[in-house]
Chain A
Amino acid sequence: MKRSFHLKTILALALILSLVLPGTAIAQEETPVAADPELRLTTTYPSQVAELGESVTIRLNLQAIGASQTVQLEMDEIPEGWSATFRGGGRIIYAVHVSTEATESFDLRLDPPAGVEPGTYNFVVLARGQSLRAELPISLTIQERVPASLTFETDLPTIIGSPSTTFRYNATLKNEGDEELTVNLSADVPLGFLARFKVAGQETSSFPLGADESKNVVIELEPVVEVAAGSYPVTVFANSGEVQAVLNLNAEVTGQHNLSVSGLDGRLSGRAVAGEETTLQIVVSNTGTAAAQGVEMSATAPNGWTITFDPEVIAEIPAGQQVEVTAMLKPADQAIAGDYIVTVRARPAEGANKTTDFRITVSTSTLWGVIGLALIAVAVGVVAIAVMRFGRR
């Protein structure tokens, strides 16, 4: 009976096996590691390029085949100065628990040291489970970043002009970076100057500049006061966030004389008697920055007037000095009483002449008044003679 049981069992097993085995053989082919537990640490992009100074976060995947386990994470190889942290679930992690057949994802964050050099850096991530380990080499190529940068250039950084010149510089501002920038222009201007910026003919101080775009910027430097001769350095800044471009300009101001004609104490009026010579004190002052040479005095006066100057020509008026000129003014003999305009002109050997109008009040001679009085005196005399001649008792 016992043997027959065994036989029966064996037959049954054989039957079962004959039914089951072909399927088992297929399963063994599809998962050949099922029986061989191992850890798999992978990443999609194991070799990356990063920009200088940038932190890199890399997504890592961990698989534990065969046995679920807790895996310790560490860096097997890390270049000097770099720091690596693993992050998962919003926190820094040191270990990952991986279930069988599951894939856990977490981040590796690589922070470069402050003075990192461009180049290729190799990292090796080590995942250590119970008796199992997996390594993942990562290579990071640190590249010099193409920084947002501006260049500011001009062909003529030095312009020569007089104190009344508006110094106009044509500069080119170029955005060398990859982003659009909003550029602010400012200038460090010497005292007495006023800086203006014009882009496309419009006065502006702030404008957008697209990536790789360049614009012509006209920098106008206008002296607002009578600046002394000399060299005036001007620094123009183009700012956009942290990016700055500097343009050094120079305004060479040459001296210029600036004459003005006025009377003594600024009086622009005078008195004269018809047909009589009077003197008019005229002050020619040079408020400019250079001496005026050979200043010739002349005047436009009404018809019949004579005006002479002493001196006729002033050899030199140094800058900031004034010279007194005596004008001998003689209105026409028959000039009608009243106010007249006399235009006095100072003409330097070089440069524009300056004119000033003087208002001359002409009085007529009192000679006729005296004659009138004499006439009355004669008439009174006639009365007196008549009284003496015809007076009677």
Chain B
Amino acid sequence: MARQAKQRKREGSPWTGLGAVIAKEMADHLTSARMRILEILIVLTALGTGYAALQQLTGESNQDEFLFLRLFTTAREPLPAFAGFLGFLVPLVAIALAFDAINGEFNRRTLARVLSQPIYRDALLMGKFLGAFFTLALVLAAIWLLVFGIGLLGLGIPPSGEEVARALLFLLATIVYGGFWMVVALLFSILFRQAATAALASIAVWLFFTGFWNMLVSLAAQTLRPIQFGLPQEQIAQTELALLLSRFSPNTLFVEATVALLLPSVRTLGVILPFELQGAILGAPLPVGQSLLLIWPQLTGMIAAILLLFVLGYVSFQRREIRS
């Protein structure tokens, strides 16, 4: 009990030194060779998909109200759309930025040295995360601007306020999505002493959600909600369960957020029944606020998941003996 009381007692703020850690971390990241490679990869992707989309858009006569948004969603064989590319590039970048955040310090035996400065562990962990997070946000914002610039040059029309708002929200959703994979990598970097193990674990989780989750979901839905008589209710129940389970995957959440934000005519992401569309004007775009409301659960779910995973990592880091 005495120990606990002692533990709870704190001197000074946990934020002390946070700014310094963030600045150092960002400086490290932005000058690292690893980051350079990722940057080149992403910039090439942005240029390639942006240019391809532009070719596709200018090739067809287009009456689309949201022409600018189609820059992000238009795919041209063999390249996928920009949004689709981000779906698997962002996790890689996020994991690459954070998989050795803590265990790297251990292995270089610099953790004790850092903590001998007037910096709390709280600030170190938070700074590690935020430094990587801001780096990611910076890179993504730069790419976003790049695509936007390509669009301005190529299309020759300014985007409407609605389009800018949607594109900005898409950027935000992408950053949040990256943040999720970053906090996963950070957690593994706390849990595993070896950086390679942490990286592999992170990649494994990512692969699991990218490749296997959907198979498991359809399997589970078919098992738990079998279609015995072919009734519509059964089909709806199965589809709804599959949808619910698939939303545990951050990939699904990101895809849904992308779809709702970049395709304004999307009204709902769930199961839609014919009677719900009675009297509806199909193809009419939703206002940006309504689209945001549509993906709000996805967005808040991802943010909450980030915070909870961070707490896990935080608790585990705080309880760890680091002096050895």
Contact = CB atoms under 8 A, between A and B. Distances in A.
Given A375-B300, A376-B303, A386 B280 contact: no
Contacts of A378: 304
A389 B8 contact: yes
A337 B122 contact: no
B117 to A, nearest CB: 13
Contacts of A373: 300
A335 B296 contact: no
A363 B293 contact: yes
Interface residues of B, number: 40
B279 to A, nearest CB: 3
> What interface size band does chain A fall in?
35 or more
A334 B280 CA distance: 13
Interface stretch (B88-96, B207-215, B281-289): B281-289
B122 A391 contact: yes
A376 B304 contact: yes
A342 interface: yes
B115 to A, nearest CB: 10
Contacts of B275: 303-304
Contacts of A337: 267-268, 286, 290, 293-294
Given A334-B276, A363-B290, A386 B304 contact: no
Contact of B284 (A334, A338, A366, A388): A338
Interface stretch (B40-48, B155-163, B314-322): B314-322
Interface in A365-393: 366, 368-369, 372-373, 375-376, 378-380, 382-383, 386-393
Contacts, number: 114
Nearest to A363: B290
Q: Interface of chain B, helix or strand or loop or mixed? A: helix
A51 B303 CA distance: 113
A379 B294 contact: no
Contacts of B268: 336-337
A338 B296 CA distance: 16
A387 to B, nearest CB: 6
A336 B303 contact: no
B170 interface: no
B284 A386 contact: no
B324 interface: no
Interface in A339-371: 339-342, 359, 361, 363-364, 366, 368-369
B307 A342 contact: no
A379 B308 CA distance: 6
Contact of B279 (A302, A386, A393): A302
Interface of B: 7-8, 10-11, 14, 120-122, 267-268, 272, 275-281, 284, 286-287, 289-290, 293-294, 296-297, 299-301, 303-304, 307-308, 310-311, 314-315, 318-319
11 contacts: A300-B279, A335-B276, A336-B276, A337-B267, A337-B268, A372-B300, A376-B303, A382-B307, A386-B314, A390-B314, A392-B121
